[in-house]
Every structure is written in structure tokens, then in C-alpha cells.
Amino acid sequence: MVSDSPDAAVGVLGVPFDGGVSFRRGAAFAPARLRELSTRLAACGDEGTPLNLDVRDYGDVPPDLNWSRIFQTVEERAAGPLQHAQALFLGGDHSVSIPLMRAFDRSVDGSFGVVILDAHPDLFDVYDGHRWSHACTARRALDLEGLDAEHLIFAGLRSIAREEWDFLQAHPSIRYVTAREWWRSGVDAVAHEVVARLQDVRAVYLSLDIDVLDPAFAPGTGYPEGGGPSTRELLELVRALCGALPIKAMDVVEVAPVLDHGDRTSFAALSVIYEAWSATEERWAES
């Protein structure tokens, strides 16, 4: 499954950086932990369908205490995985999605969609005095050339600061599905709407902040928020999205192994990744 081939279906890059966090760090340890645990798991979707795709691992972006320089490096290094049919980026905190999405913007010819699965919208313009905080990720996504506000969609939100709330009210074309709406209307309805809204884009970036999950399922993260979906509900949504949308890149961020219990957050992240790949393989087989 791991391959050196430039023809591998998936390219993976680790970004062990958590310098955009203001509170509980630890996400920098996730790429190493996820790789380690991945060798212990069966390579399959969650109904047992074997994964056939090859994965090329581009390693990790090296540490650098200069924030602008490491973000520049992340943006450059992301180009390798983005040449594959699908890229997977392992954070790191959610700020790493800022340079990753910039690289995505450059790699896609035309307009694209961004789906963010997160307990928080990360829509601050500035947080802790910086525009690259992990609380500013979605706001920076809106700076990208290829992303229109109506193609930015959130699911799982349940903690929205007043500034973010005001921004969302002022920008009604941004669709956000709260965790409550997801629970009440059901995963099929959410998936159906997300897919319908992104019908016309050429490519989709899926950003998974693991704190979208209820802390019962993913306690190992900096900002756990109760009332979130279960792993089962997240798997169902990710399967539906990857089965229907041209997802060209995915990131998994905010997994913090040092805050985890029995690696359950890392294992949950891996099962979502495998499910995403399984559904993607099925979509490729059909097209």
C-alpha cells in the first residue's frame, strides 16, 4: 500500500506544527503517532472492503520556529502530494490548513469548494494578535482566489464566538450546519445538501478538525466541545461526501496525542481516513 511511485493514488504529507495554538498544544505529535498506529490497522473501509490504493508518503515538513518561513515551506511541500489524485495532510493544528489551502488554490484551475468539519468556525480575522491563528483558518480560506463564500460549508459547529457569529450573519451565503442540525435532520440530509451546493466546482478540499467529534470519541484535542457527532455519524458523512464529490485534498488536524486517552482520538482519525479512502476508491471505480 505504501509506494514510492509518482503514480500512487494518494500523496501524504505531515505538518507537525502547533504554533498556531493559544491554549493546549500537542497536535505537532500527531503525524508520527498516526503513522505508527496505521501500521497496526487493517487497510480497509469499515465494512471490510480492502483498500487497494497506493499511498506515497512525502514525510514531514521539518520544524522551524520562524512562522512565516515554515508556512512558506508547507505551501511549497504541499505541491508534491497535490500532484496525486488525492492528497492527505496530517496536522498539526488547524493553522496549517492556511498554507495547505493556499497550495490547493494554486493547484486547482477554476473554482473549488471547502468543507470544514469542526466544532468551531475559525472565522476570526485576528486572534491572539495574529492572522494565522488556528482560530482564523476559515477566514483566510475566504481570501483565496478560487473559493467563493457559497462554496464554503461547515458541519458540526457548536461553539461560535460573537465576532464569528456576526461575520456569519453578515455573510449569509456561507452555509453552516450546526451539530444540532446534523443530529436532528440526519446525516443523509446534511450530505445531500453539501453535495448539491458543490455540484459545480471542479475540486473540493475537505478539512477535518478532529474536535468535530464529541469528546467522548475524541478527547485528545485542544478544544473539546460536548454535544458533537459520534465516530459513526462522522464516518457516514465522510463516506457520503467522498463518494459523491471530487475531493482532491483532505487534512486531519488538531489530533493531540499528548492529550489523548489510550490513543482513541488517533484511532478515530485513522478510521475516518480509511473510510474516506474507501469511499473515494468506489467513486473512482464508478467513473
Q: What is the Cα–Cα distance from 239 to 245, expressed in whole angstroms?
A: 10
Q: Does 164 bind Mn ion (CB under 5 A)?
A: no
Tell me how many residues contact Mn ion (CB under 5 A): 5
Q: Cis peptide leading into 92, omega within 30 of 0?
A: yes
Residue 97 contacts residue 253 (beta carbons within 8 Å): yes
Would you say 120 and 154 are in contact if contact means Cβ atoms under 8 Å apart? no
* β-sheet bridge partners, residue 50: 44
Q: Cα dihedral sign for 8, 86, 238, 95?
A: positive
DSSP state at residue 218 = -
The contact pattern for Mn ion, residues 236-265, with x = CB under 5 A and - = no contact, is: ------------------------------
Interactions with Mn ion, residue window 14-73 (CB under 5 A)? none
**176 secondary structure, DSSP code:** E
C-alpha cell at 241: 461526501
Our CB check for Mn ion shows the closer of 75 and 225 to be 225
* 120 near Mn ion, judged by CB under 5 A: yes
* Contact call for residue 134 and Mn ion (CB under 5 A): no
Q: Which is nearer to Mn ion, 33 or 120 (CB)?
A: 120
Binding status of residue 214 toward Mn ion by CB under 5 A? no
Asked if 211 interacts with Mn ion (CB under 5 A), we say yes
- 91 vs 99 by CB, closer to Mn ion: 91
| Minimum CB–partner distance for residue 54 and Mn ion (Å) | 31
- In whole angstroms, what is the distance from residue 28 CA to residue 262 CA? 18
Q: Given the rule CB under 5 A, which of 34-42, 118-126, 195-203, 260-268 is the region that contacts Mn ion?
A: 118-126
Q: How far is the CB of 266 from Mn ion (least distance, A)?
A: 17
Residue 195 corresponds to which cell in the numbers above? 453535495
**Of 51 and 155, CB closest to Mn ion:** 155
> Whole-number minimum distance, CB 84 to Mn ion, in Å?
27
Closer to Mn ion by Cβ: residue 105 or 209: 209
Nearer of residues 118 and 260 to Mn ion, judged by Cβ: 118
> Do 204 and 245 touch, CB atoms closer than 8 A?
yes
Show the DSSP H helices in 108-221 as ranges.
137-141, 162-170, 179-185, 187-197
Nearer Cβ to Mn ion (57/211): 211
Q: Which stretch binds Mn ion (CB under 5 A): 51-59, 100-108, 166-174, 211-219?
A: 211-219
Question: Based on C-alpha coordinates, what's the Rg of the chain?
Answer: 17
| 25 vs 167: CA distance, rounded Å | 27
**Cα–Cα distance measured from residue 104 to residue 107, given in angstroms and rounded to the nearest whole number:** 5
Residue 118 as a binder of Mn ion (CB under 5 A): the answer is yes
CB of 211 to Mn ion, least distance (A): 4
Question: Which residues are near Mn ion by CB under 5 A?
Answer: 118-120, 209, 211
